[in-house]
């Protein structure tokens, strides 16, 4: 059966380009159904869009015939991908806040399918803090975005970021989102970044992890089609395309969010989890003064990698840990597999400039082999690891 896209056309002058998008999707063998907002109908008519898709266009949440016929729940489910083009500031805001007062927003709230948005708006509206907040919220929920691009706006003389991506770009992003990667249908967890452990409301213990390697792995797994949850400590990195990010601070929050992501096919624990946390978190800021220098007693944090590795029946099929070592890298990593109960360890020597750097040089250690990978960009390490994971999970599926 051909792949099905539900195209939601929002109200912007770029709506005319969505007619071209329909044609390009159909040329690529994709079947297209169209929902138009009220505002969209000011720019292009349902008749024009309907003529291109060869069926009626859906416009009204409260139209009795339309609702009996198909209904917003069926529209939301009977597709493989929802594309919102143009995605206006208003549609993004509604989706970010879960509003559902028209057909387009109700469909977005009701769907369990991947969503790709192609925003378009005036550059000031795009740069506005409210839109940027909504954009970040939607990305963290795993929605994908293409554009907006920089360029000339419809208003004369205005330039900036806010142009809708071109129909071919949107088509390519839609086809990529529709493609069946080798990890399609597989659920993956990646932990990344540092954790921070509070001493009092303003002070904490943490480490220098940038989160780069973990984020790159989450992106690479999503590229291969996996449904990825990224549980991340504080970092400055954008959420990778198509990944659901859960932001946490402490090791205990990371453990809780990781367990909530079960069941899983693969868990890749890249986070630099703080080994210890202050035994007591002072409820108010510890004052300098009479009591002298405070002693901070520490206690051990839960080991997330070991906990997931020893889950018994609920254990992810493949558990991958990381090991940052400064000496005897391979021996220490093998000992770690045994101690933590994971399947693989990606070990790196952090005596150089790996932490926070752009490149990494690792050993992939499994129960029966050790592979030394050449030094390469963290993204390349991520893609190679994602390919190994795909190979292992598809081999496991065949053995079953």
Minimum distance between the CB of residue 198 and ligand C5P, rounded to whole angstroms?
16
Is 122 catalytic? The answer is no
How many whole angstroms separate alpha carbon 213 and alpha carbon 360? 8
Tell me: does residue 303 bind ligand C5P (CB under 6 A): yes
Tell me: does residue 210 bind ligand C5P (CB under 6 A): no
Helices 129-140, 89-97: axis angle to 10 degrees equals: 50
Cα–Cα separations (whole angstroms), residue 85 to 6, 13, 21, 345, 368: 11, 11, 9, 43, 49
Minimum distance between the CB of residue 332 and ligand C5P, rounded to whole angstroms?
8
Longest dimension (CA), the chain: 81
Which one of 172-180, 197-205, 238-246, 316-324 is the stretch in contact with ligand C5P (CB under 6 A)?
A: 316-324
Minimum distance between the CB of residue 258 and ligand C5P, rounded to whole angstroms?
8
Minimum distance between the CB of residue 324 and ligand C5P, rounded to whole angstroms?
6
Which one of 50-58, 64-72, 321-329, 351-359 is the stretch in contact with ligand C5P (CB under 6 A)?
A: 321-329
- In sequence order, the 6+-apart residues with CB closer than 8 A to the CB of 49 are 9, 18, 19, 22, 34, 36, 57
The dihedrals phi and psi of 47, each to the nearest 5 degrees, come to -65, -45
Asked if 277 contacts 299 with a C-beta cutoff of 8 angstroms, the reply is yes
Site string for ligand C5P, 163-202 (x = CB under 6 A): ----------------------------x-----------
Nearest partner of 220 among 370, 390, 47, judged by Cα: 390
The dihedrals phi and psi of 306, each to the nearest 5 degrees, come to -65, -40
The dihedrals phi and psi of 179, each to the nearest 5 degrees, come to -70, 145
Tell me: does residue 318 bind ligand C5P (CB under 6 A): no
How many whole angstroms separate alpha carbon 365 and alpha carbon 346? 6
Among 267, 273, 347, 390, which residue sits at the site for ligand C5P (rule: CB under 6 A)?
273
Tell me: does residue 211 bind ligand C5P (CB under 6 A): no
Tell me: does residue 364 bind ligand C5P (CB under 6 A): no
> How many CB atoms are located within 10 Å of the residue 47 CB?
11
Token pair recorded at residue 209:
């992890």
User: What sections of 34-189 are H helices per DSSP?
Assistant: 40-43, 46-53, 64-69, 71-77, 89-97, 103-110, 123-127, 129-140, 167-178
Specify the residue for token string 């539900």: 6
Tell me: does residue 321 bind ligand C5P (CB under 6 A): yes
Residue count (the chain): 400
Nearest residue (CB) to ligand C5P, 183 versus 217: 217
Nearest residue (CB) to ligand C5P, 211 versus 225: 211
Which one of 113-121, 165-173, 199-207, 302-310 is the stretch in contact with ligand C5P (CB under 6 A)?
A: 302-310
Nearest residue (CB) to ligand C5P, 93 versus 272: 272
Among 145, 204, 241, 322, which residue sits at the site for ligand C5P (rule: CB under 6 A)?
322
Tell me: does residue 248 bind ligand C5P (CB under 6 A): no
Which one of 171-179, 284-292, 296-304, 374-382 is the stretch in contact with ligand C5P (CB under 6 A)?
A: 296-304
Cα–Cα separations (whole angstroms), residue 327 to 37, 292, 347, 349: 61, 38, 11, 7
Tell me: does residue 269 bind ligand C5P (CB under 6 A): yes
Q: Exactly one of 207, 236, 327, 332 is catalytic; which is it?
A: 207
Among 301, 309, 348, 360, which residue sits at the site for ligand C5P (rule: CB under 6 A)?
301
Which one of 39-47, 160-168, 270-278, 280-288 is the stretch in contact with ligand C5P (CB under 6 A)?
A: 270-278
Size of the site for ligand C5P (CB under 6 A): 13
Binding stretches for ligand C5P (CB under 6 A): 191, 251, 269-271, 273, 301, 303-305, 321-323
Q: Give catalytic residue positions.
A: 207
């Amino acid at each position: 059966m051909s792949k099905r896209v539900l195209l939601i056309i929002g109200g912007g002058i770029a709506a005319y380009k969505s007619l071209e998008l329909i044609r390009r999707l159909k040329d690529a063998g994709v079947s297209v159904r169209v929902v138009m907002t009220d505002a969209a109908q000011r720019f292009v008519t349902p008749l024009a869009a309907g003529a291109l898709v060869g069926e009626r266009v859906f416009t009204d949440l409260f139209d009795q015939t339309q609702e009996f016929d198909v209904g917003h729940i069926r529209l939301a489910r009977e597709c493989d991908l929802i594309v919102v083009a143009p995605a206006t500031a208003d549609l993004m805001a509604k989706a970010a806040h879960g509003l559902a007062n028209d057909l387009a927003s109700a469909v977005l709230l009701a769907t369990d399918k991947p969503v790709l948005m192609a925003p378009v708006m005036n550059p000031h509206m795009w740069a506005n803090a409210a839109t940027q907040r909504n954009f970040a919220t939607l990305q963290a929920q795993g929605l994908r975005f293409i554009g907006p691009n920089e360029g000339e706006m419809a208003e004369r003389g205005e330039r900036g970021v806010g142009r809708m991506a071109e129909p071919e770009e949107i088509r390519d992003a839609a086809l990529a989102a529709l493609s069946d990667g080798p990890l399609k249908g597989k659920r993956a967890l990646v932990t990344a970044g540092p954790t921070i452990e509070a001493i009092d409301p303003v002070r904490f213990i943490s480490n220098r992890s940038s989160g780069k390697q973990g984020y790159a792995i989450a992106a690479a797994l999503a590229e291969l089609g996996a449904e990825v949850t990224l549980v991340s400590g504080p970092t400055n990195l954008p959420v990778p395309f198509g990944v659901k990010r859960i932001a946490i601070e402490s090791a205990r929050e990371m453990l809780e969010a990781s367990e909530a992501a079960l069941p899983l096919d693969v868990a890749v624990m890249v986070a630099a989890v703080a080994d210890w946390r202050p035994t007591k978190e002072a409820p108010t800021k510890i004052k300098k003064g009479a009591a002298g220098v405070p002693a901070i007693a520490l206690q051990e944090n839960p080991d997330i990698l070991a906990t997931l590795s020893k889950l018994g029946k609920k254990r992810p099929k493949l558990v991958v840990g990381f090991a940052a070592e400064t000496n005897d890298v391979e021996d220490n990593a093998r000992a770690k597999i045994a101690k933590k109960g994971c399947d693989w360890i990606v070990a790196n020597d952090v005596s150089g400039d790996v932490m926070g750097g752009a490149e990494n040089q690792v050993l992939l250690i499994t129960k029966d082999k050790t592979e030394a990978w050449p030094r390469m960009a963290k993204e390349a390490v991520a893609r190679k690891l994602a390919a190994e994971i795909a190979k292992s999970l598809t081999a496991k599926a065949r053995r079953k």
